[in-house]
Structure 1
């Protein structure tokens, strides 16, 4: 079976999107399927028309001239469509597999219709909700409604829809898509790619000013929905009963300046360490510095519907964490078993939960074991990718019958 994936962006860029993609592609190849991969203009300008990264060959789409909002997206879709049609005629895939956003689905639908190739669409988050978080639109605005309509239009015109969690699946079905045409491919981890957390490097700990301290932390991109402002808001209360506590924030992003200003306003600048972005190869060294990870995501459509990778990666490494009780977390975490949940948006709830966890470290070994066992037996890529088989087989059989 030949599957042609149409992607927003890919490795060597680093994001949850690219890591999920690479894991899916490798597991599909392990099943004996041939996979081809095209990235949209949002990959950015590249030196070559195709390149191999970590054993995966990616075809690139030329970046069109920029234009105003609306025109820019139209140009991107036209460029993706032209490149996709050229490659699909040459490679003759059995299925076109578009991944969100809808800017990839529409070109795939148009090419699939012209060439008689079945199209599937995989939604990892809705484009309109991502735009709300980025601050480029507001929920219910004209742009929001138009983007939502585009997503629904695409979903109604593909042979099958895939998504990453039950929250998004319910939203898709509510748009009028038959349940049997929507399949969840859950977020997972490559367990063999994660080693159990190790002892902190004493030299790095000294360098970060964390020697002899208990460390709360977060590793990733600083988006507003991650709720790091709530962690900082809670910090003075946590310090009152845990004076040796420190916060380690590893990464960067749109909220970095705001978080630094908040730390200064709270008078805790000397107790919050911002490392900036670190090389991917070094991330595990920084994780090892953290005693307790905190994922305080705010409640909004995006976080209620979408399951993140971070808690699964933490479980795979045997790490201890507390997370807000948004829907995306509740799908992954068994409160008190694989992690702890606290009321989203509540600084008091965060403070109480973290304080309780710090006071009950005797419960941590059992939590580490339960988390690791969950990803080993349930949330692994072999289990997740197996869910593609039946819809793919149905569509390719129908394609052959019609061809």
Structure 2
């Protein structure tokens, strides 16, 4: 029999699904498809397009559901839908794929036009498109509410502490409550990896820590069996799981403050610590001020630049000049100015915040780092690690352990590998992880003639096995594209590769230069496939001759001595919290 928590979860998921189905059914479809195993998703896409002619919109829909946007765009360009339902589907796909022309926009129904304008960052126009439209009241209310939360000066109302609230123990150990977007075990992203590392480092430094994730998570991403609490490696993650979510973004943030207040009263922290984006900051600020607590804003990414990177390349200049970009930039700055302390990951981010007017004394750099335990992992040759995983011993293997998204530039890496092989250099590729770009990367590898012995994409692997996949690589590559977000934000995974003695090659971008400098990594011009192929071939020859960059006894590679570690970071956090106590 289902217990009360599972019943609440089912109600919550049904409520969320119904809202998304009404607001954006195609986006719900693709997000649901992403939860399926790759093979199942592929069969679903094939079934959708089965028997369709070359001019059928179903071909575009199948490619869209399979996360192959380039193929979906090509299919949409040749589609000639003959029914009203087919024409409506083509319009919806055009919005999702960023393929609505100015003439086409005039043909969109108001509800679809509003989504198109919003996706391009024209926020007030999107709301205005729904003025007086029958049946669009809920969509208009949601967009108005979302716009309000981004607007200058928007704050959430305070919450009222319980009469028994006595504040944190002034003489006890430091207690910090972290407010997160997602976490282990439900999410294995770089964000979740860093969060878990931060919490572990702080606990090792003598700080009592606990984390709370965003309202509805992880049920709203399909994990109906979620409990109200998960404990991973001794770290407690609390879940805010009401029976239903408030109908608008601003109302959900208010709902979150009330649930977070209960966690504050139960844990009695000295400091609240949250991470980007501004919605987390709005909630944390309101609760911290209500309880007289200090709060920290950790800006791991640059929200407005990440949004620009998600747009089609030909629309990114327009996105940079959009209303949405300006509002997000200013709102993130507003939150940084309001926080008692701000944490960033790099010198590049620090300089950006100072330019925005954030006092230098309030900014701390806490870089991505390597787990101290990784430093003591025995050296394993790449060929031996590959053999243990069932991969070929031969060849020079390059790749990454990462989320597979467009701005990471892994399609460029595939092309560079193919160039090397065409020149007789036995370079092979291994890309560990999952993401929206994975189907496209698999298709591109096939087009380039990279078979299963020369290009492997195993998908997401259990965290306990990740080290073995790092060790299977001879060179760890970060071929990020030259976009604003990639110039600003540092990745976490290269530090683990460096600690395991692997060569590291990264795009020559400001944030990645900081990473390379930490471990004697190499650089190549961003988005230059020829230069990347040349660098890979050179690294392969160096490996063959034993002339690798960093050596230990008997020629075995060792980790660079100046890598940042999480134990060091734990001390930095501890000192910062004591200043705020």
Compute the displacement of 1:106 (Å): 0.6
Contact 2:276 2:300 in 1 (8 A): yes
1:164 corresponds to: 345
Once the 2 structures are TM-superposed, how far is the Cα of residue 115 of structure 1 from its aligned partner?
Answer: 1.5
- Aligned with residue 463 of structure 2, among 251, 257, 280: 280
- Over the aligned positions, Cα root-mean-square deviation in angstroms equals 2.7
Q: 1:319 aligns with which of 476, 491, 502?
A: 502
* Between 34-43 and 95-104, the greater mean CA deviation after superposition: 34-43
Q: Equivalences for 1:133-172 in 2 at 5 Å?
A: 133-135=309-311, 138-172=319-353
- Alpha-carbon contact 1:100-1:127 (below 8 Å) kept: yes
Contact 1:28/1:385 (<8 A) preserved: yes
Which of the pair has the greater relative contact order for Cα pairs under 8 Å at 6+ separation?
1
Q: Check the 8 A contact 2:408/2:481 in 1, yes or no.
A: yes
Instruction: Quote the Cα distance in structure 1 between the aligned partners of 2:283 and 2:200.
Output: 25
Deviation at 1:203, TM superposition (A): 9.9
Change (3 A) 1:197 1:145: farther
Please identify, of 239-248 and 295-304, the stretch whose mean Cα deviation from structure 2 is larger: 239-248
Instruction: Please name the residue that 2:69 is paired with.
Output: none
Following superposition, the deviation at residue 74 of structure 1 comes to 2.8
Q: Does the alignment pair 1:77 with 2:259?
A: no
**Greater mean alpha carbon deviation, residues 22-31 or residues 346-355:** 22-31
In 1, the alpha carbon distance for the partners of 2:576 and 2:463 equals 35
Question: For residue 180 of structure 2, what is the aligned residue in structure 1?
Answer: 7
Partner secondary structure for residue 394 of structure 2? coil
Could you say which residue in structure 2 is the equivalent of 1:109?
A: 285
**Greater share of residues in strand:** 1
1:54 has 2:54 as partner: no
User: Aligned to 1:356, what secondary structure does the other structure show?
Assistant: helix
Partner residue, 2:276: 100
Asked which structure has the greater CA Rg, the reply is 2
1:203/1:356 Cα in 2 relative to 1: closer, same or farther (>3 Å)? closer
Deviations 1:141-197 (A, max 9, x none): 222222222211211211111111111111111111111111111111112135244
**CA 1:4–1:278: 2 relative to 1, 3 Å:** closer
Question: Which residue of 354, 357, 363 corresponds with 1:182?
Answer: 363
Q: What runs of 5+ residues in structure 2 fail to find an aligned partner?
A: 1-173, 220-224
CA positional deviation for 1:200: 5.0
Q: CA deviation at 1:324?
A: 1.1
| Deviations 1:324-377, CA, capped at 9 Å, x for gaps | 111221102139x72211111111111121111112223216267886133xx4
Cα distance change of structure 1 residues 110 and 338 upon mapping to structure 2, 3 Å threshold: same
The partner residue of 1:36 within 184, 207, 210 is 210
Q: Does residue 1:373 correspond to 2:557, yes or no? A: no
Deviations 1:9-43 (A, max 9, x none): 12112122222222222222223222221111363
Write the deviation string for residues 92-131 of structure 1: whole angstroms up to 9, x where unpaired: 2211111222221111111111121111111101222232
* Counterpart for residue 235 of structure 1: 417
Q: Note closer, same or farther for the CA distance 1:121–1:252 as it changes in structure 2 (3 Å cut).
A: same
The corresponding residue for 2:487 is 304
Q: Match for residue 308 of structure 2? A: 132
Correspondent of 1:351 among 528, 533, 536: 533
For the pair 1:18 / 2:153, whether they are aligned, the reply is: no
Contact 1:105 1:154 in 2 (8 A): yes
Q: Say whether the 8 Å CA contact 2:379–2:557 is kept in structure 1.
A: no
CA distance in 2, matches of 1:57, 1:209: 37
Q: Which residue matches 1:394? A: 579
Work out the number of aligned pairs and report it. Answer: 390
Deviates more, 1:28-37 or 1:365-374: 365-374
**Structure 2 residue 250 is the aligned partner of structure 1 residue 250:** no
- Change over 3 Å in CA distance of 1:134–1:38 after alignment to 2: same
Q: TM-score, normalised by structure 1?
A: 0.87
| Aligned with residue 331 of structure 1, among 514, 533, 546 | 514
2:373 to 185, 192, 197: 192
Equivalent position of 1:401 in the other structure? none
The 5 Å alignment of 1:198-217 reads 198-199=380-381, 205=387, 210-217=392-399
